[in-house]
């Protein structure tokens, strides 16, 4: 599904983010930025050692922040690493921190001339964020940023399974 907001196309697709032919993909990383499971592990494996080499120089990343590295062997030129919140109960600042991940990733993208970007479902794996809530936050935040900033032509949400894809598709349809 896709929807146009100003000059930007937002879309949801079922797929593997490591195969995306975009300027940058976003990595749902841990604070060390040194690799892990899920999307993070897949990106490090597919991108090769150049990503880890650059990550070692970044001294980690705080929750809600975002940092850029090469894409290594990935089709994407860059990886924007962001650290999502671990979900407790939604009453410990998690919604704001999750929104900040999407906002900061887009800010880093704009600072580096990125026109096309792909996001995973940040914090929806082992960090336990309820997918429907995370999808609403992701879409609302991305829509706010692209409406107030020119430069991003396409934002693609690349979801790895139907149970994650459907809530993101529903959230996009509501925009």
**Per-residue model confidence as pLDDT tens digits over 105-163:** 999 999 999 999 999 999 999 999 999 999 999 999 999 999 999 999 999 999 999 99
The CA-CA-CA angle for residues 75, 79, 85, to 5°, reads 135
Which of 13, 7, 22 minimizes the C-alpha distance to 113?
22
| Closest by Cα among 60, 53, 146 to 105 | 146
pLDDT of residue 46: 97
**Which residues carry out catalysis?**
40
Confidence of residue 5 (pLDDT cuts 50, 70, 90): very high
User: What percentage of the chain reaches a pLDDT higher than 90?
Assistant: 97
Domain coordinates in residue numbering, the chain: 2-174
Q: What is the reported pLDDT for 174?
A: 97
| Coil, strand or helix at 83 | strand
Q: Which of 13, 11, 79 lies closest to 40 in space, CA to CA?
A: 79
Give the global pTM. 0.97
Q: What is the mean pLDDT of the chain?
A: 97
pLDDT of residue 16: 98
Helix, strand, coil proportions of the chain in percent (round to 5)?
40, 20, 40
Q: Report the 10 Å Cβ neighbour count for 11.
A: 17
**CATH code, residues 2-174:** 3.40.220.10
- What pLDDT, on a 0 to 100 scale, did the predictor assign at position 113? 98
Q: What is the pLDDT of residue 120?
A: 98
The tens digit of pLDDT for each residue in 10-44 reads 999 999 999 999 999 999 999 999 988 899 999 99
How high is the pLDDT of residue 108?
A: 98
Predicted confidence (pLDDT) per residue in 62-97, tens digit: 999 999 999 999 999 999 999 999 999 999 999 999
């Amino acid at each position: 599904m896709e929807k146009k907001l100003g000059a930007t196309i937002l879309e949801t697709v079922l797929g593997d983010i490591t195969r995306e032919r975009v300027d940058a993909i976003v990595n749902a990383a841990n604070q060390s930025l040194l690799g892990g499971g899920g999307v993070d592990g897949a990106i490090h494996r597919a991108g090769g050692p150049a990503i880890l080499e650059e990550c070692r120089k970044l001294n980690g990343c705080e929750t809600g922040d975002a940092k850029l590295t090469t894409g290594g062997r990935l089709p994407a030129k860059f990886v924007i690493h962001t650290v999502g919140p671990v979900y407790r109960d939604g009453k410990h600042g998690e919604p704001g921190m999750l929104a900040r991940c999407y906002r900061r990733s887009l800010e880093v993208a704009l600072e580096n001339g990125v026109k096309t970007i792909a996001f995973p479902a940040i914090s929806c794996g082992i960090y336990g964020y309820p997918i429907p809530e995370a999808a609403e936050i992701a879409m609302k935040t991305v829509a706010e940023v692209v409406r107030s900033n020119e430069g991003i032509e396409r934002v693609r949400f690349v979801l790895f399974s139907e149970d994650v894809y459907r809530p993101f598709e529903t959230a996009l349809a509501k925009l």
